[in-house]
Amino acid sequence: MHLDLSGKTALVTGSTQGIGEAIAVALARAGARTAVNGRKPEAVEEAVERLRAAVPGADVVAAPGDVSTAEGAAALEATMSNVDILINNVGIFGSKPALDITDDEWRRYFEVNVLAAVRLTRTFLPGMKERGWGRVQYIASDSAVVIPAEMIHYGVSKTALLGVSRGFAKEAAGSGVTVNCVIAGPTHTGGVEDFVYQLVDRSLPWEEAQREFMRLHRPQSLLGRLIEPEEIANLCVYLASPQASATTGAAVRVDGGYVDSIVP
């Protein structure tokens, strides 16, 4: 299967590192003009340079802005005119005892993990519908379905994305635009390494710490290891492609079998 996104413009929020950066690289490899987004302009420029090195000849755009604010989303809209593929990836996570999570922390998780995606969908979905083609994706998590006791605020924010995705898919019905959620499982990123070491002995070497984390905190995983960001990106590129035209309103799992369910 040849996935060709030539002539399409893609925007990946939170794409200066981790899963977002891997998705941006994969979209550029498929031929899309790819916009890299992050809060800090210098981090965006560094990620743009890494992407150009990884994909020589790629058409890459720097699109800095804090999309968790209305001002940041407006600045991004001014930078980007037509967006054909919107990947709502930006998010925050961290562990905290459930009864210690404050109102302000709950609001912050909603602003970044949910409302940022809603704003950008509201911004770019109308143009996709007018042009008769588009792709909107939300990067959710296994935590949306299996709420972790150690970070319920994060899990609940990702559960909300499942509803947001399904709702906007109905808004886009019959227009040629698809809207889907990607349920990512435990993934190996720098941020996750920090998270793992919050829960296991920091003196353990990484490979041992990873195995201990999976054994103690993610024993449901059938993969038995953390997922690599590129494995998430592969699914995102497929869902962004013309070949995925009949997949919409779905929550598609790339979770290593973590969610104990026989349905998607």
* Identified catalytic residue from 109, 138, 154, 258: 154
Active site residue 109: no
Spatial contact of 80 and 11, defined as CB atoms under 8 Å apart? yes
Residues 6+ apart with CB under 8 A from 156: 109, 147
Question: Is-contact 90 67, C-beta < 8 A?
Answer: yes
CA distances from 139 to 17, 62, 160, 167 (A): 14, 21, 12, 15
The answer to whether 258 and 221 are in contact (CB under 8 A) is: yes
Q: Which residues are catalytic?
A: 154
